[in-house]
């Protein structure tokens, strides 16, 4: 007998419509079991997907995807949607190179309407799709945006809500609230009011009364306004959604997000309503798996784990994020002006210990990177020492605030740019390969990138008394222990001075951060064929160590720049500009990320795909020294991609 009797009978969303609601409840159980089986082997976003099983099934039961457009904010909660839309058999390849994406991807399926990966974008996209429907006179299909409560901490979501409510476009927004518990009394009353307000007879009666009162001379309109004010005042006491009503949405909820009957009922009602509608759904992250229910933050994005114990597989090493968090606690113990800021990721950025130890000096602003940066500017302006820990790919969202609010005023904000470089399985939206390019050209901002956790701690000591803005970029994970002996140079730490890790007469490799591991291994391989490469740790990317560059220009005419950033605007671009401006007779090759978005896959696989693994780098350097054109590697990359 098949393990998933009902689930195996579902080939597409239309198959759901033949099921009874009782069968749908059984399907929910099978769906959770399937997700657990799959994610425990591949890793992925677990807690959020377990929390939206009933909601996703109800959406596909009521609406007709892909005619009706379902848009998932962030998208890490779209596994159930993918399983229902013909991709169940691909789940063994989830988040792997060439496999199923962990996020909605239009190129993967017609049911993935809009590509997402960052937060707070879905309502804007949905409103654009809804307006396009109206302008082009297409079939009156439904447009539904599913947004988490965390996403509403992003200002863009409120900008979209304000616009949508103002223009009265037909649009359904589902607020998936997985933080608030359901209050039986308030929830029941609010649910009753939702049914009344969503009733077509009620809305018809309400509009009729308003029209009738408006026709009465002198007193009609004042009476109508008084009734409306009384109604709003009553709702403000009893209904959680007053703010959404004021923005122009019809508010329905809160609804139990794990009651399939209630969900199907309210979604059906919303589909018949005119104008923008917001449905407030209460769900529990990690629903149905005890370990994920108890610790949803850990099981938000989890590597492969043992289902019976909830423990991850593999050996634990000190990560850059962990070292950053521990060092910041140490600095805070010595200096009461040290404060920490994160954007909804205290655990992933290593700040949980800081939060526990210094709660009054810790600020989690939610998914609001722009606010985080400008608030940090305000803290620095008042004499405090803020450290802002945000992933590279998310810091992109605060570019203007970095430039306008921090750097123009030369305020000493310390940016901890986590997950810099390739991060792997989350794919294009999460690779941290642009930060050097978008930070490098901003005046007043110094950029450091440590080769290991010891150097990270040294840099943090230096930044404590910084007089201007500083960015410290570091990768996900840890340093390969086999490389560490090369990093132990015993030279005193000097933040603006580069250091030589290996000496050689034939060429010089300039690299930094995690790519230094590749540089050292490539230099070893070159040594086996008689090529002696010098390896320099360019730990300060901006400003350049021009003294070291000038010195090496006198002994080496072939330079190799190795970086985990896009080549355009990266560290190599700065070195090339220096060489050109100085009129030096140097041959340079930049090895980094080409002009492309990097897909999902394990980091080692992606490094190989990009010809940035040690073997490929060694071969490219050898060819460079012997005059082989680099274009051959560009061609192979395109062929593989």
Q: Which one of 3.40.190.10, 3.40.710.10, 3.50.50.60, 3.40.50.970 gives the CATH number of domain 7-294?
A: 3.40.50.970
Question: What's the number of CA atoms in the CB half-sphere (13 Å) around residue 148?
Answer: 26
What is residue 202's predicted lDDT score, i.e. its pLDDT? 42
pTM: 0.85
- The DSSP line for 522-582 is HHHHHHHTT--EEEEE--EEES--HHHHHHHHTT-SEEEEEEEEESTTSHHHHHHHHHHHH
* Active-site residue, from 30, 369, 425, 521: 369
Looking at 69, 285, 451, 622, which residue is catalytic?
A: 285
Q: How far apart are CA 270 and CA 277, in angstroms?
A: 7
Is pLDDT at 203 greater than 60 in this prediction?
Answer: no
Question: Hunting for tokens 């070893």 — which residue is that?
Answer: 524
- Whether residue 488 is predicted with pLDDT greater than 90 in this model: the reply is no
**Smallest Cα–Cα separation from 385: which of 365, 408, 415?**
415
Lowest mean pLDDT among 72-81, 162-171, 221-230, 393-402: 221-230
Q: Would you state the pLDDT for residue 186?
A: 32
Q: Is 334 a catalytic residue?
A: no
User: How would residue 227 be classed by pLDDT, with cut points 50, 70 and 90?
Assistant: low
Q: How far apart are the first and last CA of the chain?
A: 41
The mean predicted confidence, pLDDT, of the chain is: 88
pLDDT tens-digit profile of 275-308?
999 999 999 999 999 999 998 888 988 888 999 8
Domain boundaries defined on the chain: 7-294, 320-473, 500-640
285 is catalytic: yes
Fold identical between 320-473 and 500-640? yes
**Cα gap 112→116, rounded to integer Å:** 9
- The pLDDT of residue 629: 72
Q: Is 397 labeled as catalytic in the residue annotation? A: yes
Higher-pLDDT residue of 297, 614: 614
Pinpoint the alpha helices (H) of 72-199: 79-82, 122-136, 155-167, 184-198
Q: What pLDDT does residue 350 have?
A: 95
Point out the least confidently predicted range of 285-289, 479-483, 498-502, 590-594.
Answer: 479-483
Architecture of the domain made up of 500-640 = 3-Layer(aba) Sandwich (3.40)
Helices 260-271, 21-42: crossing angle, 10 deg rounding: 100
Inform me whether the pLDDT recorded for 153 exceeds 90: no
User: Residue 326 corresponds to which tokens in the numbers above?
Assistant: 């521990």
Asked if the model's pLDDT at residue 24 lies above 80, the reply is yes
The dihedral through the CA atoms of 85, 88, 90, 96 has a sign that is positive
Most confident of 11-25, 114-128, 372-386: 372-386
Q: Determine contact, residues 636/611, Cβ cutoff 8 Å.
A: yes
**Residue 240 φ then ψ, to 5°:** -65, -25
Which of 95, 385, 397, 622 is catalytic? The answer is 397
Which of these CATH numbers, 3.10.290.10, 3.40.50.300, 3.40.50.920, 3.40.50.970, describes 320-473? 3.40.50.970
Q: How many CB atoms neighbour CB 17 within 10 A?
A: 10
For residue range 523-575, list pLDDT tens digits in order.
999 999 999 999 999 999 999 999 999 999 999 999 999 999 999 999 999 99
**Sheet containing 499-502: which strands, arranged edge to edge?**
499-502, 533-537, 507-511, 558-566, 587-593
């Amino acid at each position: 007998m098949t393990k998933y009797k009902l689930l195996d009978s579902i080939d597409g969303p239309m198959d759901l419509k033949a099921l009874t609601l009782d069968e749908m409840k059984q399907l929910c159980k099978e769906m959770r079991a399937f997700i657990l089986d799959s994610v425990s082997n591949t890793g992925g976003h677990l807690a959020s997907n377990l929390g939206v099983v009933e909601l996703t099934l109800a959406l596909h039961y009521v609406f007709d995807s892909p005619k009706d457009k379902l848009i998932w904010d962030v998208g890490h909660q779209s596994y159930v949607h993918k399983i229902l839309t013909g991709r169940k058999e691909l789940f063994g390849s989830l988040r792997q190179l060439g496999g199923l994406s962990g996020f909605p991807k239009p190129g993967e399926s017609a049911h993935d309407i809009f590509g997402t990966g960052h937060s707070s974008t879905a309502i804007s996209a949905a409103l654009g799709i809804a307006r396009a429907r109206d302008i082009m006179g297409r079939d009156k299909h439904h447009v539904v945006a599913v947004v988490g409560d965390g996403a509403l901490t992003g200002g863009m979501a409120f900008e979209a809500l304000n616009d949508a409510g103002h223009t009265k476009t037909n649009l359904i927004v589902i607020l998936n609230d997985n933080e608030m518990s359901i209050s039986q009394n308030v929830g029941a009353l609010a649910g009753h009011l939702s049914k009344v307000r969503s009733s077509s007879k009620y809305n018809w009666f309400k509009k009729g009364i308003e029209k009738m009162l408006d026709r009465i001379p002198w007193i009609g309109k004042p009476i109508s306004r008084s009734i409306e004010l009384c109604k709003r005042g009553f709702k403000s006491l009893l209904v959680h959604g007053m703010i959404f009503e004021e923005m122009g949405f019809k508010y329905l909820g809160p609804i139990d997000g794990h009651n399939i009957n209630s969900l199907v009922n309210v979604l059906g009602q919303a589909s018949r309503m005119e104008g923008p509608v917001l449905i407030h759904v209460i769900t529990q992250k990690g629903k149905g798996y005890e370990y994920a229910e108890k610790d949803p933050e850990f099981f938000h994005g989890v590597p492969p784990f043992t289902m019976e114990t909830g423990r991850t597989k593999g050996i634990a090493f000190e990560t850059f994020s962990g070292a950053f968090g521990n060092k910041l606690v140490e600095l805070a113990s010595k200096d009461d002006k040290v404060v920490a800021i994160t954007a909804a990721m205290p655990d992933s950025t290593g700040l949980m210990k800081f939060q526990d130890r210094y709660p009054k000096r810790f600020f989690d602003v939610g998914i609001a990177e722009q606010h985080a940066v400008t608030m940090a500017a305000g803290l620095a302006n008042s004499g405090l020492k803020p450290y802002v820990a945000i992933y590279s790919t998310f810091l992109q969202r605060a570019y203007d605030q970095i430039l306008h609010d921090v750097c123009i005023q030369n305020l000493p904000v310390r940016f901890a740019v986590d997950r810099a470089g390739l991060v792997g399985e989350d794919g294009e939206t999460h690779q941290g390969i642009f930060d050097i390019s978008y930070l490098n050209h901003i005046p007043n901002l110094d950029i450091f990138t440590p080769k290991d956790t010891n150097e990270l701690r040294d840099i943090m000591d230096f930044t404590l008394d910084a007089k201007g803005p500083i960015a410290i970029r570091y990768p996900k994970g840890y340093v390969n222990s086999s490389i560490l002996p090369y990093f132990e140079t015993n030279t005193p730490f000097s933040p603006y001075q580069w250091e030589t890790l290996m000496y050689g007469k034939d060429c010089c490799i300039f690299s930094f951060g995690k790519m230094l591991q590749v540089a050292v291994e490539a230099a070893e391989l070159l040594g086996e064929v008689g090529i002696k490469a010098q390896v320099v740790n360019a730990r300060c990317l901006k400003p350049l160590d021009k003294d070291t560059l000038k010195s090496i220009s006198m002994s080496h005419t072939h330079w190799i720049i190795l970086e985990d950033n896009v080549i355009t605007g990266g560290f190599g671009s700065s070195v090339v500009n220096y060489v050109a401006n100085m009129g030096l007779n140097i041959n340079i090759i930049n090895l980094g990320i080409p002009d492309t978005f990097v897909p999902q896959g394990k980091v080692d696989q992606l490094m190989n795909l990009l010809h940035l693994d040690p073997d490929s780098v060694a071969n490219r350097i050898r060819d460079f020294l012997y005059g082989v054109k680099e274009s051959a590697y560009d061609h192979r990359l395109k062929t593989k991609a």
